[in-house]
A and B are shown apart, each in its own frame.
Chain A
């Protein structure tokens, strides 16, 4: 079954510390992986996607097909990074149409 697992509900770090938000997936084909972020009182928005291989707001994520993981990393956390982070997988499902499957999310709290 297709699934996205984010094992940590809450990740609490101090400002300047490294951050790694874990994401593992289960999918039989070649998925697209995404990280979405929701800041307090804001709408859900795309942070980055694996095919872009870009760094957004200092965050990077590498798709590891062997470990079926797509962990989100940042070397030095900032207080403004505090938010809810969702890992998502897009693949072709019934009817041939793509859809997103989200993980349960990890709340990142960065303390001063």
Chain B
């Protein structure tokens, strides 16, 4: 059964450093989501792609976060510079379309900023 892949699974970095996370959605899924989950909270949407286009990045801290999905397949989320408050689980999800389709989640990348 196809699954969403993410790497790395864990990342430890020092504040002010740059970090990048990678996500490979299920083949054929046009919509890709990046969520941030702070300990003790539910996932919060950071950015949503429809194919290669960003359709919602209203919660993305654009001064330090960037996301791209150049060919409409895999995606990269970058943080530069990382801050202590960025420590969280970063989840990627994908769905066939944007409407009522089920979102399938990856295993996540746990980021710790020291």
Contact = CB atoms under 8 A, between A and B. Distances in A.
A97 B42 contact: no
B90 interface: no
A96 B60 CA distance: 18
A32 interface: yes
Contact of A46 (B98, B103, B106): B103
Contacts, number: 51
Interface residues of B, number: 24
B99 interface: yes
B100 A99 contact: no
Given A94-B56, A95-B55, A44 B43 contact: yes
A4 interface: yes
Contact of B45 (A45, A51, A86, A99): A99
A104 B42 contact: yes
A102 B43 contact: yes
B89 to A, nearest CB: 10
Contacts of B98: 97-98
Interface string B19-48: 000000000000000000000111111001
Given A95-B55, A97-B56, A98-B98, A43 B108 contact: yes
B83 to A, nearest CB: 22
Interface residues of A, number: 23
B44 A45 contact: no
Nearest to B106: A43
B91 interface: yes
Nearest to B108: A43
A9 B98 CA distance: 30
Complex A-B, nearest 6 residue pairs according to Cβ-Cβ distance, in ascending order: A102-B42, A44-B105, A97-B55, A43-B105, A102-B43, A43-B107
8 contacts: A43-B107, A43-B108, A90-B100, A93-B56, A99-B45, A100-B103, A102-B42, A104-B41
